[in-house]
Copies of this chain bind each other. A is one copy, B any other.
Amino acid sequence: MIATTHGDQEGWFSDDEFAEIRRKVPMLYVQAIPVQTDEFGQVTHIGLMMRANDDGNIVRSIVSGRVMYGEVIHAALLRHIENDLGPLTLPSLPQSAHPFTVTQYFPTPQPTGFVDERQHAVSLGYIVPIKGEVEPRKAALEFNWFEPKEIVTSKMFEEMDDSQGLVIYQALAHMGIFS
């Protein structure tokens, strides 16, 4: 699985061409919330990166990226995790393509409240336990583990990119974590 900016497996295209395509059809994305767990599978920590967004602001972010032509969802998940967090994370990818949430990003706050100014993107979300080492790289300037309660009680949701704070909120609710 070769990772590239805009080239998919059966055909490359230029930045201009991609800019055109992403204004014409919805883009398929995956997003992964990196977590650490105890022996019972319960989440003890959630991992967030720091990265610069398109406006040049430093924002916190989960792992997120496009599914390429010809790429299965699990390969896209693994590729984006390796791209951002390095090759030694030993992620436990899900057994099924069934996401814990489907997030619909639009260029405007309506109709869903999830905003991505660049495009209409539909992102399948997965919670991914990380057993190995994280070495943030490429776009990821930094990476930190937080206890769920640190995230809930802090302003961290507001520092996040592209409404991703709401996705973490959904993940916590899905896992029954409230404090």
Contact = CB atoms under 8 A, between A and B. Distances in A.
A67 to B, nearest CB: 5
Nearest to A175: B96
Interface string A11-31: 101000100010111111000
Given A92-B92, A174-B174, A11 B24 contact: yes
20 contacts: A8-B25, A11-B24, A21-B25, A25-B68, A25-B69, A26-B68, A28-B28, A37-B93, A37-B95, A41-B95, A73-B104, A92-B92, A96-B100, A96-B175, A97-B101, A98-B174, A102-B124, A112-B176, A169-B178, A173-B174
A86 interface: no
B26 A95 contact: no
Contact of A74 (B40, B129, B166): B40
Interface residues of A, number: 62
A170 B43 CA distance: 17
A74 B122 CA distance: 13
A160 interface: no
Interface of A: 8, 10-11, 13, 17, 21, 23-28, 35, 37, 39-43, 66-75, 78, 92-104, 106, 111-113, 120, 122, 124, 127, 129, 166, 169-170, 172-176, 178-179
Given A26-B28, A95-B37, A127-B95, A102 B120 contact: no
B101 A176 contact: yes
